[in-house]
Chain A
Amino acid sequence: MIAIPLAVEVDHLVRRFGDFVAVDDVSFTVNQGEVFGFLGPNGSGKSTTIRILCGLLAPSGGHAVVAGLDVWRQAEGIRAQMGYMPQFFSLYGDLTGAENIEFYAAMYSVPPAEIRRRLDFLAERLELGSVLNRLTRTLSTGWRQRLALATAIAHQPPLVFLDEPTSGVDPVTRRLFWDVIADLAHDGATVFVTTHVMDEAEHCTHLAMMHYGKLIAQGPPEQMRRDLVSSLVQVQSERIWDALQALQGAPQIHEVALFGEALHAEVAAEVADPEERVRQVLASAHVPVASVQRVAPTMEDVFVSLARRYERPTTAGRDA
Chain B
Amino acid sequence: MSDAALDVRGLRKEFGPLVACADLSLELAAGQILGLVGPDGAGKTTVFRMLCGILEPTAGSALVAGHEVRRDPEGVKRVIGYLPQQFSLHRDLTIDENIRYIADLYCVPPGQWEARRDELLDITYLTPFRRRLAGRLSGGMRQKLALVCSLIHRPQVLFLDEPTTGVDPVSRRDFWKILYDLPRQGVTIIISTPYMDEAVRCNQLAFMFEGRLLAYDTPVGLRGRMTGKVLAVRCLALREARLVLQRQPHVRSVEVFGDRLHVALQPGVGVTEVRAALHEAGVDCQHLEEIEPSLEDVFMALTASATDGLRE
Chain A hits for B219, CB < 8 A: 260-261
Task: Kindly identify which residue among B129, B138, B166 contacts A196, using a CB–CB cutoff of 8 Å.
Answer: B166
Is A213 interfacial (CB-CB < 8 Å)? no
Contact in complex: A171, B165 (CB < 8 Å): no
- A window 29-81: CB within 8 A of B: 35, 40-44
Is B303 interfacial (CB-CB < 8 Å)? yes
| Most-contacted residue by chain A among B141, B168, B177, B255 (CB, 10 A) | B168
Is A218 interfacial (CB-CB < 8 Å)? no
Chain B hits for A140, CB < 8 A: 40-41
26 sampled A-B residue pairs with Cβ under 8 A = A35-B258, A40-B168, A41-B169, A42-B167, A43-B138, A140-B40, A164-B166, A167-B166, A168-B165, A170-B39, A170-B194, A171-B299, A171-B300, A173-B39, A178-B255, A196-B168, A202-B258, A203-B255, A203-B256, A221-B258, A258-B201, A259-B200, A260-B200, A261-B203, A300-B197, A304-B173
Is B113 interfacial (CB-CB < 8 Å)? no
Given A244-B180, A258-B201, also A320-B140 (CB < 8 A): yes
- A211 to B238 CA separation, bound complex (whole angstroms): 32
Is B104 interfacial (CB-CB < 8 Å)? no
Is B38 interfacial (CB-CB < 8 Å)? yes
Given A141-B40, A196-B167, also A260-B258 (CB < 8 A): no
Contact in complex: A199, B168 (CB < 8 Å): no
Chain B hits for A260, CB < 8 A: 33, 200-203, 218-219
Is B125 interfacial (CB-CB < 8 Å)? yes
Is B305 interfacial (CB-CB < 8 Å)? no
Is A21 interfacial (CB-CB < 8 Å)? no
Chain A min CB distance to B307 (Å): 10
Interface size class of B (residues with CB under 8 A): 35 or more
Chain B residues with CB under 8 Å of chain A are 33, 38-42, 125, 128-129, 138-141, 144, 162, 165-174, 176-177, 180, 184, 194-197, 200-203, 218-220, 238-239, 242, 253, 255-259, 294, 296, 299-300, 303
For the complex of A and B, the 6 pairs showing the least CB-CB separation, nearest first, are A170-B39, A320-B140, A182-B256, A41-B168, A318-B125, A205-B258
- What total of A-B pairs shows CB separation below 8 Å? 136
Interface string of A172-202 (1 = CB under 8 A from B): 1101001100110010000000001111001
| Most-contacted residue by chain B among A43, A164, A167, A172 (CB, 10 A) | A172
Chain B hits for A308, CB < 8 A: 170
- Give 8 new A-B contacts, CB below 8 A, not counting A172-B303, A198-B197: A168-B162, A182-B256, A196-B169, A205-B259, A261-B219, A300-B197, A303-B170, A317-B128
Chain A hits for B194, CB < 8 A: 168-171
Chain B min CB distance to A208 (Å): 13
Chain B hits for A319, CB < 8 A: 125, 129, 138, 140-141
Chain A hits for B195, CB < 8 A: 197
- A40 to B170 CA separation, bound complex (whole angstroms): 9
Task: Kindly identify which residue among B41, B169, B177, B257 contacts A203, using a CB–CB cutoff of 8 Å.
Answer: B257
Contact in complex: B258, A172 (CB < 8 Å): no
- A241 to B257 CA separation, bound complex (whole angstroms): 34
| Most-contacted residue by chain A among B40, B296, B300 (CB, 10 A) | B40
Is A257 interfacial (CB-CB < 8 Å)? yes
- A59 to B195 CA separation, bound complex (whole angstroms): 36
Chain A min CB distance to B160 (Å): 15
| Most-contacted residue by chain B among A142, A173, A320 (CB, 10 A) | A320
Contact in complex: B255, A175 (CB < 8 Å): yes
- A170 to B139 CA separation, bound complex (whole angstroms): 23
- A197 to B193 CA separation, bound complex (whole angstroms): 13
Chain A hits for B294, CB < 8 A: 199
Given A171-B296, A199-B296, A320-B140, also A304-B40 (CB < 8 A): no
Chain B min CB distance to A315 (Å): 11
- A165 to B80 CA separation, bound complex (whole angstroms): 33
- A279 to B268 CA separation, bound complex (whole angstroms): 39
Interface string of A278-320 (1 = CB under 8 A from B): 0000000000000000000000100110011000000001111
Chain A hits for B129, CB < 8 A: 317, 319
